[in-house]
Structure 1
Amino acid sequence: MTAPKMTASKMTDSMPPESPAHVPVLRDTVLRWLAPRSGGRYVDGTFGRGGHTKAILEAAPGARVLGLDKDPEAAPAAAALAAGEPRFRFLAGDFSELGSALDRVGWDLVDGILLDLGLSSPQLETPERGFSLRHDGPLDMRFDPGSGETAAELLDRLEEREIADLLFGMGERRSRAIAWRIVGRRPLRTTGDLRAAVIAAVGPRRGRIDPATRTFLAVRSAVNREPQVLAAALHEAPGRLRREGVLAVISYHSGEDRPVKHAFRRLAEEPRFELGTRRPIRPDEDESGANRRSRSACLRILRRIEDAPGEIVRPDGDGR
């Protein structure tokens, strides 16, 4: 199946300009698949700084978008957009809470749902958040810095075997050596401490990929319960699509893409759903060259093509 054609309109004057630091990944491709229409309702489950949301609103002047994000630093960008754009509404929370969020705004079914599982540029470029390999900062890694245990607390708490299992699950083949170094250097308090422990175990960088990349991904995933959150969203989201509605998920590593692929393939065995493409969609050379963080992006599409037998499609409340 090929992506539907989509004609974009001019951005409305009320819409705040896109921050030059934030480039939404696969923007045009996502728009082609979502095909926003006037009167349609869409969910941006990872609002971030609003790049994809603004693109949807720009593409269809009569569309409405609900944005979700548990990162409190997304709230100012959301508030700025909502102040000048009545078609947009924002709720704090992650996309595992999709169903309750839709119920709160009075939307039963929607025309499109987007989940971009990557970190935003501000998250990566703010050392205090503890996500970056390049900038030393507190070993935090929480999407919501106000709740839950930090990466430092997690690594202090886990036994060596548990740390090794965590890293191995992200595909780190030298997980035991790294776990041994982490335990031997505890307490780790900064991202630099964690990276140094990995380097001590496996040696310095020998190629384009930093040797601590998989370790950071594994720890971040555990801190934020990313597999559980994604599983909950993949369970809830398909059933909230109206007929011809699209679920689009952008992942950035195999630990994210694998569950999306398997969930979509299982759903496509039902008569209600079909895969947009058999293979994931990746950025072209122009986008990869212009935005290095898009290089590992992987987009998968699921479309709802009919209602379930006996399913009663309720009219949506007016919402906002």
Structure 2
Amino acid sequence: MPDRAGKLKVTVAVLTRDRPKMLADLLTSLSKLDDPDHCELIYLVVENNQRKSQEALVRAFGPKFTKGSIHYVLETKIGIASARNRAAKEAINLDADLLVFVDDDEIVPPEWLANLVGPTGKALLFFSGATSGSPPVRKLYMARKAMHKNISQRYFRNEKRAAQRASSNDTPGVTIVANNWIGQVDIIANNKILFNENLDWLGGEDTQFYSDVRSLGLKTGWVSNAPVYETIPKDRLTFGYQFKRAKDQSNTSFKRKLSKKPSAIYKLPVSVVLKTIGLLGLLFLMPLTLSTNFLTFCRTAGWIADRISAALGATADHYRTVTGQ
């Protein structure tokens, strides 16, 4: 980072599309953040849409942000990577030192930003924090209630594994994802690191970005005390949604693997057979393990479907459909 005598300039970027209620909930939580020491805060909302549908909502929140200013821009190239790149370019134009990403389906506790910014004062480059599932806001029926519990348990396991393997000094075995993320803007600008816009609809752009950062020998870290809380709407608590999400995520991962090691295609039949046997076992035990294995069953089924369809040339389109309100 530049050696500033004054405050660090921090751009907190929110990407949003067609989720006004969730965006309002996030902005409410952001407006109540503790003020990080020695920081000038700029909040940036990037609406990824063809028209300005959320500008009035963002402007209305302006007076509530007493500890920083709030800006709005429209990015008309639809896609998650394009929206992230627009935020990075805006942060560069704003002469920011640090860029933070948080998703519009999340809320943050008051201490989140102060804890996330803290380690970057030690000249480390890219960090991520944990994600937890927010409690359901209304009564759910059995299958959706079980799915919500499964998702929350998965987040907890991921957080626990990251805390065990990673630290503020390194992230072995942990991928830095961009839903709760902070990075140095000068490193992005000087190395011309961008999110891969070929992954606009597919997702996985943050995983690819992390891989690019590591290949450049740049340092990454994990911040254990800066979690965000994801709002999980009812339409994500179904077999169909989790199946398709796993299928699309697997598609991106598999194609990335094939691009590096084309011979991996020859291991596919054995992998599919083994996964199918595991899936049948999960199905047999489902009446007894719904509360713990429902999500695993959905994701395993999605993995199998993807490996077969990806081998035939199918592509993912996870970000074409918006869930939540």
Query: Shorter chain as normaliser: what TM range?
Result: under 0.3
Q: TM-score, normalised by structure 2?
A: 0.28
Q: TM-score, normalised by structure 1?
A: 0.28
Q: Which of the pair is proportionally richer in strand?
A: 2
Point out which structure has higher relative CO (alpha carbons under 8 A, 6+ apart): 2
